[in-house]
Amino acid sequence: MRKPAKPRITKPHLKWAWNKRRSVWEPYHRVTWTEGGKRRERAVKLDWQGDAERLDALYWECAAGKHEKQQAPAKQTWRALIDAWRKDPRVQGKLSEGTKKTYRRDMESILEKNADKDVRRLTKSAVRAAHAKLAETPRKADRFLQTVSLLWNYGANKLDWPLGDNPTRGVDHYGKQREYEPWPQWMVDALDKAPEDVRTAAFLILNTGQRPNAAITMKFSDFDGDWMSVLDEKNDERMEVYCPAELRAFIASASRKGAYVLAKNLTQPRGYWAVSKAFRAWRDDLGPKAAKYVLHGLRKLAIIRLAEAGCSDAEIQAVTNQSAEMVAYYRARASRKALSRSAQQRRT
């Protein structure tokens, strides 16, 4: 194939090089100088895509030293900041495993899109936008703010990075949220017509008494006869809990599409957010009266049902691993119902 003529576009420092593999002429902004008696050169390839106007813009960007390839890589990146925080024994030695796991989730989310970005470029408006985007899950939103603030302060105070004002300052938290509402019986009954993933997830949460994510990601191998192995996510600890007969029967009859009860494929579980999305769509179909209920409310309903069955606080904690304060709070809900029933029945 005959080599085509070199483009006639000429400018100072604009050089054309023939790319044999692609059989095209490629433009470079090339500058040479002598330093310490040696010839030095810096060349930036211009992705002009055959467009003279684009080439002109790229050329003058290089002439001004503003082309992205002329910028020194950022040293104060989110990756460097998070790595330093994770490796600092002064920090890690003060945190519980559950707290570390909570921070780890948020930090992985930050790294996913911002690992090599300069921390100093984060703005308050960007923080507000990210916080608002998580408004449907206010606890998660506020935890995100807390994580960003923690990292920023660590970089400024422990690494002596010139970060300036913390961009989370002045961004209002959603604040302490009310406790999750236990599901009413009519909503539990409505599960009969829910999508299979929602129905299965709800059954697992209610009958194991565990946090939604821990219940949703249970394996068939976690069930062994009368017992089940459950994960306390907060403390990153596994416990052996007695498995109720109804749940044993459910697991025995469940179709096996993989290692997990809620399987994405043979080796992976359905993600919590995929199940949550399906749940919210089903909940929306139930109308406004269902809007305040979330999957976590089934865990609270489990406490109430155990209390109504006559279980002691210690027994409820052995099943759900909830704090004594939380068990007492929801036991009171159960006690009020029982007392009101007794009182109203006396009227007749």
Q: Are residues 103 and 200 in the same domain?
A: no
- 170 part of a folded domain: no
Q: Are residues 100 and 55 in the same domain?
A: no
Phi, psi of 57 (to 5 degrees): -65, -45
Quick check: 235 pLDDT over 70? no
Domain count, the chain: 3
Does this model's pTM top 0.75? no
Q: Are residues 193 and 147 in the same domain?
A: no
Residue (of 262, 250, 246, 225) closest to 305 by Cα position = 246
Q: Are residues 305 and 227 in the same domain?
A: yes
Q: What is the CATH number of the domain that holds 210?
A: 1.10.443.10
- 8 part of a folded domain: no
What amino acid occupies position 48?
A: W
- 23 part of a folded domain: yes
Does residue 227 contact residue 338 with C-beta atoms inside 8 Å? no
The whole domain housing 248 covers 185-346
Quick check: 168 pLDDT over 70? yes
Quick check: 94 pLDDT over 90? no
Q: To which residue do tokens 């416990």 refer?
A: 239
- 4 part of a folded domain: no
Q: Are residues 234 and 332 in the same domain?
A: yes
Express each pLDDT in 106-157 by its tens digit. Answer: 999 999 989 988 999 899 999 999 999 888 778 888 999 999 999 999 999 9
Q: Are residues 333 and 195 in the same domain?
A: yes
Q: Are residues 152 and 202 in the same domain?
A: no
Q: Are residues 207 and 273 in the same domain?
A: yes
* 335 pLDDT tier (thresholds 50, 70, 90): confident
Express each pLDDT in 199-233 by its tens digit. Answer: 999 999 999 999 898 999 999 999 998 999 998 87
Q: Are residues 214 and 337 in the same domain?
A: yes
Q: Are residues 193 and 335 in the same domain?
A: yes
Residue (of 294, 291, 299) closest to 323 by Cα position = 299
Q: Are residues 294 and 324 in the same domain?
A: yes
Edge-first strand listing for the sheet containing 227-232: 223-224, 227-232, 237-242
The pLDDT of residue 72 is 61
Token representation of residue 141: 């939103």
